[in-house]
């Protein structure tokens, strides 16, 4: 520096201050801007700034005579008021520094005391920088690029002990000053208008690391400078940070990823959460803010959710953590649903664009062209990932398809849109949630929200309609599962279409179309509550012109299916199936008609109308003969088998099930939300137990549970567990029953499958009674029985009545036990013989025998009726239980020989299951009777060769 031709000393800080002031000669430069330009990330108070300004004034001779250079504008900042001119120096300082002279490098910004989760990235960047010489750290604003660059620069001091130069380009407003700023930071005096050639020459022989921070807003000049230095100064290594790559020769890029966040798991605990960098940063920042917040198991999932919704962006996490003391973590999580979080303040000394998320995003947004800004705000309508095809369909409107494609690429390059490779190898795109929230505000402000949302909803209506709208059954089309990636967009579109606009839907017609296209896919994905919600909403708004159309048929079918598994077998479900069947019949929609008949059969079975269900099965069998889909013949056989089972015709049921298993049909056949092979295996297992083959029954029950578990579908899992558990209870395998019920209740709670909850509770109550917890089991059974009747889940009501009567008998509540049994018998439909009737009569006899005033004759009559009923049903299992009870009655009457003949005759018919509860009880009784009769017949063993083993259901 010279004044009036006389050199004078000036410190690095004073020189930096002078450069900033001269760059803005005649303009007021704020205190904050001066501090951020000169001290960068250091915390400096206004007193230090005044001290350095005073020193600079003194060095310049400000105030000597009439000389005025720097004016203080109270409350605003400082202004350089002397005239400024540029002129060529009479000599060129365009060569390398003289021998022995070194480039001046100001001190590096200090490493932040809190750099979480970036050590591996810093090591990788340092290694790549050594190997390739030129590397740019690329990422969205607030990701931590500068923090990592500073850490790398410090780590490289051993490699470049004297010349690591950090240049902050963030405060520049004119790209023309990039080269001169680098030169002045290096202490080079360059007097030419274009500083780049001289800078290039000065660095030609230097060995150093040059860090160029915040290049994005002066990207062209930064790229030109970096490329020329890389090409002509072979010993200079360049590390740049930018929101987009410089895209020049020699550049390697490192995409700085978000901080890793924990999975969104309700069971996440504090120890596990703290192992993730995003959560660790959050907790450290909360502690630094002075909050008393402590990460514990109860709030760990909430913190994980906050970090995830902030996309692991370090700056965003710091802002959110800094407000925990004000709002609490629950409040922070709630406020993230609004744009309020974009304006949470950060550090006062940070650069202006880093003081709020809004300012950070403004910085990036303002660097976009006008059409790029249009594309960005329209893309904010997407929730989650989207394809290029979707972007073209939604972001158009003044932009052609090629422009949209180009702008998506540009926005990816500028770190405003992320590109990811999907499982199918195709590219998907998404906006970070903070960016999306910001851009969505721009979309609303532009007045384009309505038109963009319509295009968005229409696109997904057409996309989903290609699977579910052209007669394609989503249960069998693999594309249905692939559509799950679009669920966020479908939900958002439905919310917008049906959302209130002065108490009316914004776009009912479009919403109905989308709901009809989406509902079958929601069923396939087992999103039953959502399916029910949107089907109901669409049907309530259906115009007369759409009544009786395929659209209504689909909505009625999906409504019925979802309601059946999430609620019960009410009139609304039956009405929906009937309406859909009527439309399918009139429209000639054969596949829908057949599927709806399957649904009607499930409904009638659950409601206890077993004769009606048999009629539907016969009707399906006739209709299936004319269908090209052979699977419906298999289904018709299984449906008949199920109806015959509950009607008490076990031999006919076994024959129908075996017939179905013997046919060649497709695997994974899902109809009305249920895997039909699983639906057949479970009642077949029950038929086998009743027929006297308990070991085989247990094996088939386990096979059903295994196949359902392999499918991963909660409805199948719950169905198999619910209807297989009675087999375990009948056989006395309490451990298997307990395990199955535990899984069942877990799934019903997770998936809101309420139709399984009451029946599962009844089975749990029955198990508790068997395990000795009679009072608790009785209370559960009472409540469950009421709920099952309210839901019209009649199929297991009589079984629950048997269990409750048994529990009441054990606890001495005999009158109530008799009343429960009498009600269950009375509820049997005219002309039907309930599957459980033999057991109800046996229990009635057991209760009567405990009531002396009733007499043995009534009990004996009940037992004889029970035996006759069991034999008519060909239910050897019921027959053995009743025979055992009758034999004990005869034994108490002293008629031991008769007792032995009664139970031995039935026992001999069994060929397996000798370790199950009923057979062990019968064997124990026979052993007791042996002591009285002197007979020691070896029973059971001889029966092993008497009968042929039962046919097996073909396993997968």
Is the distance from CB of 167 to CB of 210 less than 8 angstroms?
yes
pLDDT confidence of residue 262: 93
User: Residue 625 falls within a domain, yes or no?
Assistant: yes
Domain boundary, last residue among 427, 447, 467: 447
User: Residue 865 falls within a domain, yes or no?
Assistant: no
- Report residue 558 as tokens: 């999906």
* Mean pLDDT for the chain overall: 85
At 499, the pLDDT band (50, 70, 90 cuts) reads confident
Q: Within 447-476, where are the H helices?
A: 449-468
CATH number for 229: 3.40.50.300
**CB atoms < 10 A from the CB of 75, how many?**
7
pLDDT confidence of residue 27: 82
CATH number for 545: 1.25.40
The verdict on 125 and 222 lying in the same domain is yes
At 847, the pLDDT band (50, 70, 90 cuts) reads very high
Q: What integer is the mean pLDDT of 764-781? A: 96
At 581, the pLDDT band (50, 70, 90 cuts) reads very high
User: Residue 802 falls within a domain, yes or no?
Assistant: yes
pLDDT in tens, 509-568: 999 999 999 998 888 887 888 999 999 999 999 999 999 999 999 999 999 988 887 776
Q: What integer is the mean pLDDT of 913-929? A: 95
The verdict on 578 and 496 lying in the same domain is yes
pLDDT confidence of residue 628: 76
- Torsion angle of the four alpha carbons 601, 607, 611, 616, in this order, in degrees rounded to the nearest 10: -20
- Coil, helix or strand for 551? helix
pLDDT in tens, 700-734: 999 999 999 988 788 889 889 999 999 999 999 99
Q: What integer is the mean pLDDT of 844-865? A: 91
Give the largest CA-CA distance in the chain.
138
pLDDT confidence of residue 150: 94
- Report residue 714 as tokens: 């909660």
The verdict on 440 and 524 lying in the same domain is no
Task: Give the chain's domain count.
Answer: 9
The verdict on 538 and 549 lying in the same domain is yes
The verdict on 436 and 459 lying in the same domain is no
Its pTM stands at 0.68
User: Residue 799 falls within a domain, yes or no?
Assistant: yes
The verdict on 529 and 583 lying in the same domain is yes
Percent of residues, the chain, with pLDDT higher than 90:
51
Domain that residue 537 falls in = 450-588
Q: Let me know how long the chain is.
A: 956
pLDDT confidence of residue 665: 61
Residue 653 or residue 346, greater confidence: 653
Q: What integer is the mean pLDDT of 613-633? A: 88
pLDDT confidence of residue 478: 59
Q: Which of 96-110, 173-187, 428-442, 865-879 has the weakest average pLDDT?
A: 96-110
CA 107 to chain centre: 48
pLDDT in tens, 16-31: 888 888 888 878 888 8
Tell me the C-alpha distance between 10 and 12, whole Å: 7
pLDDT confidence of residue 829: 60
The verdict on 131 and 226 lying in the same domain is yes
Is residue 233's pLDDT more than 60?
Answer: yes
Give the contacts of 451 (CB within 8 A, at least 6 positions apart): 397
Percent of residues, the chain, with pLDDT higher than 70:
86
Residue 157 or residue 323, greater confidence: 157
pLDDT confidence of residue 590: 87
pLDDT confidence of residue 299: 93
Residue 474 or residue 389, greater confidence: 389
Q: What integer is the mean pLDDT of 198-210? A: 90
The verdict on 422 and 488 lying in the same domain is no
pLDDT in tens, 82-138: 877 765 444 333 444 444 334 666 678 888 666 899 999 999 999 999 999 999 999
The verdict on 741 and 772 lying in the same domain is no
The verdict on 459 and 487 lying in the same domain is yes
Tell me the C-alpha distance between 825 and 832, whole Å: 11
At 747, the pLDDT band (50, 70, 90 cuts) reads confident
Q: What integer is the mean pLDDT of 195-210? A: 89
The verdict on 240 and 148 lying in the same domain is yes
pLDDT confidence of residue 215: 94
User: Residue 93 falls within a domain, yes or no?
Assistant: no
CATH number for 817: 1.25.40.10
**CB atoms < 10 A from the CB of 30, how many?**
14
Domain boundary, last residue among 530, 559, 588: 588
Q: Which residue pairs from 915-924 have beta carbons closer than 8 angstroms and sit at least 24 positions apart in sequence? A: 916/694, 916/695, 916/730, 916/731, 916/732, 916/733, 917/730, 917/731, 917/732, 918/730, 918/732, 918/877, 918/880, 918/881, 918/884, 919/694, 919/880, 920/732, 921/884, 922/880, 922/883, 922/884
pLDDT confidence of residue 28: 86
Q: What integer is the mean pLDDT of 214-238? A: 94
Q: What integer is the mean pLDDT of 494-506? A: 79
User: Residue 95 falls within a domain, yes or no?
Assistant: no
At 672, the pLDDT band (50, 70, 90 cuts) reads confident
Domain boundary, last residue among 416, 447, 478: 447
pLDDT in tens, 424-463: 778 999 998 888 888 998 999 999 999 999 999 999 999 9
pLDDT confidence of residue 940: 45
pLDDT confidence of residue 53: 87
pLDDT in tens, 304-352: 999 998 889 888 888 888 888 888 889 888 887 665 545 555 444 444 4
User: Residue 861 falls within a domain, yes or no?
Assistant: no
User: Residue 595 falls within a domain, yes or no?
Assistant: no
Is residue 681's pLDDT more than 60?
Answer: yes
CATH number for 411: 1.10.10.10
The verdict on 495 and 557 lying in the same domain is yes
- Structure-token match 């290029």, residue found: 388
């Amino acid at each position: 520096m010279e004044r009036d031709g006389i050199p004078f000393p000036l410190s690095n800080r004073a020189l930096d201050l002078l450069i900033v002031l001269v760059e803005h000669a005649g303009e007021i430069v704020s205190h904050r801007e001066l501090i951020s330009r000169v001290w960068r990330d250091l915390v400096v108070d206004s007193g230090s700034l005044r001290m350095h300004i005073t020193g600079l004034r003194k060095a310049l001779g400000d105030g000597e005579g009439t000389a005025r250079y720097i004016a203080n504008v109270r409350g605003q900042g400082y202004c350089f008021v002397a005239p400024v001119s540029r002129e060529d120096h009479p000599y060129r300082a365009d060569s390398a520094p003289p021998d022995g002279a070194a480039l001046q490098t100001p001190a590096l910004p200090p490493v932040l005391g809190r750099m979480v989760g970036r050590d591996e990235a810093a090591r990788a960047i340092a290694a790549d920088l050594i190997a390739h010489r030129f590397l740019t750290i690329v990422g969205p604003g607030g990701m931590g690029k500068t923090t990592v660059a500073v850490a790398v620069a410090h780590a490289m001091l051993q490699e470049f002990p004297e010349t690591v130069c950090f240049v902050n380009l963030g405060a520049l407003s004119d790209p023309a000053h990039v080269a001169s700023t680098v030169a002045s930071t290096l202490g080079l005096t360059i007097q030419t208008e274009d500083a780049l050639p001289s800078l290039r020459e000065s660095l030609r022989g230097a060995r150093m690391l040059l860090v160029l921070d915040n290049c994005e807003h002066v990207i062209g000049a930064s790229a030109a400078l970096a490329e020329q230095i890389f090409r002509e100064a072979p010993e200079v290594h360049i590390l740049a940070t930018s929101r987009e790559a410089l895209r020049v020769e020699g550049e390697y890029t490192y995409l700085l990823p978000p901080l890793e966040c924990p999975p969104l798991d309700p069971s996440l605990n504090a120890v596990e959460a703290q192992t993730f960098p995003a959560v660790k940063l959050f907790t450290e920042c909360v502690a630094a803010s002075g909050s008393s917040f402590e990460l514990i198991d109860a709030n760990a999932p909430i913190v994980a959710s906050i970090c995830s919704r902030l996309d692991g962006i370090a700056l965003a996490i710091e802002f959110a953590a800094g407000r925990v003391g004000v709002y609490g973590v629950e409040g922070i999580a709630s406020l993230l649903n609004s744009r309020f979080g974009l304006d949470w303040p950060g550090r006062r000394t940070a650069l202006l664009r880093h003081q709020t998320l809004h300012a950070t995003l403004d910085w990036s947004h303002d660097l976009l062209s006008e059409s790029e800004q249009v594309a960005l705000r329209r893309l904010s309508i997407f929730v989650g990932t989207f394809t290029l095809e979707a972007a073209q369909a939604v972001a158009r409107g003044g932009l052609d398809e090629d422009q949209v494609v180009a702008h998506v690429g540009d926005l990816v390059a500028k770190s405003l849109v992320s590109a990811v490779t999907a499982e199918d190898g195709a590219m998907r795109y998404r906006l970070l949630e903070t960016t999306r929230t910001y851009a969505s505000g721009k979309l609303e402000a532009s007045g384009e929200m309505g038109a963009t949302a319509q295009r968005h909803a229409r696109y997904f209506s057409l996309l989903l309609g290609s699977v579910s709208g052209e007669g394609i059954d989503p249960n069998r089309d693999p594309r249905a599962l692939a559509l799950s990636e679009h669920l966020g967009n479908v939900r958002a579109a439905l919310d917008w279409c049906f959302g209130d606009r002065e108490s009316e839907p914004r776009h009912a017609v479009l919403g109905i179309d989308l709901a009809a296209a989406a509902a079958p896919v929601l069923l396939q994905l087992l999103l039953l509550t959502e399916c029910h919600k949107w089907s109901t909403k669409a049907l309530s708004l259906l115009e007369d012109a759409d009544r009786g159309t395929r659209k209504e048929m689909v909505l009625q079918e999906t409504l019925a299916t979802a309601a059946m598994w999430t609620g019960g077998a009410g009139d609304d479900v039956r009405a929906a199936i009937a309406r859909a069947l009527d439309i399918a019949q009139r429209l000639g929609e054969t596949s829908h008609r057949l599927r709806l008949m399957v649904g009607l059969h499930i409904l009638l079975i659950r409601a206890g109308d077993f004769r009606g269900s048999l009629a539907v099965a016969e009707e399906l069998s006739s209709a299936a003969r004319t269908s090209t889909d052979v699977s419906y013949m298999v289904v018709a056989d299984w449906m008949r088998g199920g109806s015959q089972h509950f009607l008490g015709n076990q031999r006919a049921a076994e024959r129908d099930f075996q017939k179905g298993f013997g046919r060649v049909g497709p695997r994974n056949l899902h109809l009305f939300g249920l895997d039909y092979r699983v639906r057949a295996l479970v009642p077949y297992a029950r038929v086998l137990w009743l027929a006297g083959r308990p070991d085989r029954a247990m094996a088939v029950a386990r096979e059903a549970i295994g196949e359902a578990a392999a499918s991963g579908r909660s409805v199948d899992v719950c169905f198999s567990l619910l209807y297989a558990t009675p087999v375990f209870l009948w056989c006395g395998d309490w451990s298997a029953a307990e395990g199955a019920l535990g899984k069942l209740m877990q799934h019903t709670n997770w998936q809101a499958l309420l139709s399984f909850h009451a029946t599962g509770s009844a089975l749990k109550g029955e198990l508790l009674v068997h395990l000795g917890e009679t009072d608790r089991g009785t209370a559960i059974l009472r409540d469950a029985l009421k709920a099952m009747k309210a839901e019209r889940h009649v199929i297991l009501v009589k079984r629950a009545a048997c269990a409750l009567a048994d529990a009441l008998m054990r606890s001495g509540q005999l009158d109530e036990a008799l009343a429960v049994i009498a009600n269950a018998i009375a509820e049997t439909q005219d002309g039907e013989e309930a599957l459980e009737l033999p057991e109800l009569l046996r229990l009635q006899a057991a209760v009567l025998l405990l009531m002396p005033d009733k007499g043995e004759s009534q009990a004996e009559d009940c037992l004889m009726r029970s035996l006759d009923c069991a034999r008519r049903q060909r239910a050897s299992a019921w027959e053995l239980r009743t025979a055992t009870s009758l034999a004990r009655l005869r034994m108490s009457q002293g008629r031991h020989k008769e007792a032995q003949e009664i139970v031995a005759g039935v026992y001999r018919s069994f060929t397996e299951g000798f370790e199950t509860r009923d057979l062990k009880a019968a064997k124990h009784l026979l052993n007791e009777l042996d002591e009285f009769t002197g007979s020691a017949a070896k029973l059971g063993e001889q029966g092993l060769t008497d009968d042929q083993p039962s046919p097996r259901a073909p396993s997968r």
